[in-house]
Structure 1
């Protein structure tokens, strides 16, 4: 599936119906999700792989991974109410899969994940940035992802925190690479937001097991 087709499909998926600021629930924009997944696929880290999406929300990255040929995908989220949206999104794409879509959703606190260590090849996720009283949650997601995977972790982080995130990843024993940068248009989601859209720069980072 090419990039344009993937972005078009992801753009039609539903986002959060009632986002929870406590969990920093924001939908990953379809153009960012598509480019993120397409970049990862070029490293042969999606097709045929066992993938976990941490903080899956409406399932955008999990579903996109399945569309690109992942062998099996598990979406993990602490807020099980989002799974109805994710399952509805998946049902809308039923004709694109042969048989049962290779996706399951698991309710779990990512920082205390119930899944078996090293049971996945790759983790792909857009973590909370840790700006709403959740300081350090982005690093906790990286640590959890490294514990769950055997090959690599791919995640999005504010470009302004690049040096910090790279240092933390290296301290966790990973080789860290910046694969790209995106302008992330963050729409007003909560009452406290004064701007209709706020643009932030985000990095796509790869944390490889040494």
Structure 2
């Protein structure tokens, strides 16, 4: 377990931002507190006083990333009450977060390493996204917005695995600026294959 807790005050913010820049580019095991201190323009003792150890800083990055994803889901629901539109919009908004926020990219990398370094958080990105996608598809099915015979579980697997695969390719190519378009395209293509040809009137 890490020592210390990141505070909510302004003193912690530059440390977390500096750590995010490092953790977005390098595995957690290759980053140390001295690296974070150098990136933040502080001493190690100052970093410890502001936020605690590296585990605490990385946990704050994970929290920021998770919060951004939940905010994207909520924002999409505010824009439309059509569950299929919500799916496509959410993927787009998440892509925008990936493109513009280094703490999101760092959090995604940390999430992939979480079983080893953050077991106490029980992070499972696939489980989280599957639950969201299944929920939206199930609502669409109930409202007769899907083609007859669509297997919601199979479509959810397809959509989530395609989204996560796209994220991996964007990371490999360092093409984060393409994330909004690519993720929206993945979701729109999948939705187009399963949506009812004519949607019932509201």
Q: TM-score, normalised by structure 2?
A: 0.26
More strand per residue:
1
- State the structure with bigger RCO (CA 8 A, min sep 6), 1 or 2: 2
TM value normalised by structure 1:
0.25
